[in-house]
Amino acid sequence: MKPPKHFSHLLLKAGFYLILMIIFIYLLFPFYWAINSSLKSEAQLQMAPATLVPRDPSTGDFAPTLRNYRVIFENQQFVRGLINSSIVATSTTLLALVAGSFAAFALGKLRFRGKKPTLYMILAMTMFPQVTVLAGLYAVITTLKLPTITSMILSYMIFTLPFTTWVLTAFFKGLPLALLESAQVDGATPFQTFYKIMLPLTAPALVTTGLLAFIAAWNEYLFALTFTSINPGARTVPVAIAYFTGAVARQEPFGEIMAAAVVVTVPIVVLVLIFQKRIVAGLTAGAVKG
């Protein structure tokens, strides 16, 4: 009664690509809309109905403008912000990954007293709304007299470190214990086991958490706004964008904000392109050969 095999196979394939297309449209269309808006002039943005591509208000011809991009790259604050953000997000990610993977290895694979309280305590650090801890954090930063960039990196640990620790703990736990024991039998120290065996095996998890932590740090706004208030030179990109002012007083430069949104997303897309192969590096194949 079944339809011929190749037919059902074809149907399955068509269904798969249909789902894939829906996912693509859902996830990318709003971003396409940002690109579209970034290529429109102020007058084009006010057109109703909104157009799918930038069109000339009178003739209806395709008429994109690069003015918004030119303006944001002439903005020193924005360019400086890109550099600051890169430094802050990269350092935050590396620090959170190193400290987090050490802690996660202990929490996921070693036996010691006080494991559960430690796990909950680390998670509890990130359970307060940012607004609430802001004042206290600011006091700590001023007491320690840290440079603005360093203080941002450190304060971002409050939301990245618990995240990397927890995710990596879950992944370390999932790795087969047999590998670890055989290494111990071979006389490897726990540190060697960690570096030589666990770390390569968790590469996908490291890349995944690293990317997510990087994006979280790259996007952070409230801490950055507060800590850079006395040092505008250290402003990160989100803060720089918030300070965009329109040509006309009190008018919001929406096209420029959208252009900035597109520009700021590009480095992350590049990062993901570089690392996406590692996300799916054959973890299990490695484990079997390991």
Partner 1 sequence: MSNDKRSGRSELAKREERTAYRLLLPALIILLVIAVYPLGQVFYTSFTNRQFASGQETEFIGFDNYQRLLSVTISQLPPVIDEDTNQPVIDEETGKTVYERPISVLPREPVRYREYKQFSFMGNRYVLGATDVDFIDAITNTLIFTVTSVFLELALGLGVALVVNSNFKGKGVTRTAMLIPWAVITVVSARMWEWMLAPNRTGLFNTMLYTLGLADGRVAFLASGQLQLWAMVAVDVWKTTPFMALLLLAGLQTIPDELYEAAAIDGAGPVKQFFSITFPLLKPAMAVALIFRTLDALRVFDVFQVLLGQSQYSMATYNYFQLIGNRNMGLASAIGVVIFIIIFGFAIAYIKMLGVDMDETA
10 Å CB burial of residue 103 (0-12, 13-18, 19+) is: buried
Please report, for residues 6, 12, 30, 31, 135, the alpha-carbon distance to residue 19 in angstroms, rounded to integers and kept in the order given: 20, 11, 18, 19, 47
The 51-90 site mask, x for binding partner 1 (CB under 8 A), equals: ----------------------------------------
Return the residue of 135, 230, 247, 249 that touches partner 1, per CB under 8 A: 135
Residue of 39, 137, 152, 198 that binds partner 1 (CB under 8 A): 137
**Side chain identity, residue 164:** T
- Tell whether residue 18 is a contact of partner 1 (CB under 8 A): no
> C-alpha 274: how far from its chain's center?
14
| Contact status: 261 vs partner 1 (CB under 8 A) | yes
- Min. distance of Cβ 138 from partner 1 in angstroms? 9
Residue 96 amino acid letter: A
| Binder of partner 1 out of 71, 79, 87, 212 (CB under 8 A) | 212
Half-sphere exposure of residue 152: CA atoms within 13 angstroms, side-chain side: 30
- Does the protein bind partner 1 through residue 228 (CB under 8 A)? no
Both tokens assigned to 106: 């202990």
Return the number of the residue (67 or 115) whose C-beta is nearest partner 1: 115
Q: Residues 6 or more apart from 177 whose CB is under 8 A from it? A: 109
246 touches partner 1 (CB under 8 A):
no
Stretch that binds partner 1, among 54-62, 66-74, 75-83, 258-266 (CB under 8 A): 258-266
Closest separation in Å from C-beta 249 to partner 1: 19
The one segment of 2-10, 59-67, 226-234, 252-260 that binds partner 1 by CB under 8 A: 252-260
Beta bridge partners of 183: none
108 binds partner 1 (CB under 8 A): yes
> Pattern 149-168, binding to partner 1, x per CB under 8 A?
-----xx-xx--xxx-xxx-
Question: Phi first, then psi: what are they for 146, rounded to 5°?
Answer: -85, 150
CA–CA separation, 174 and 24 (whole Å): 31
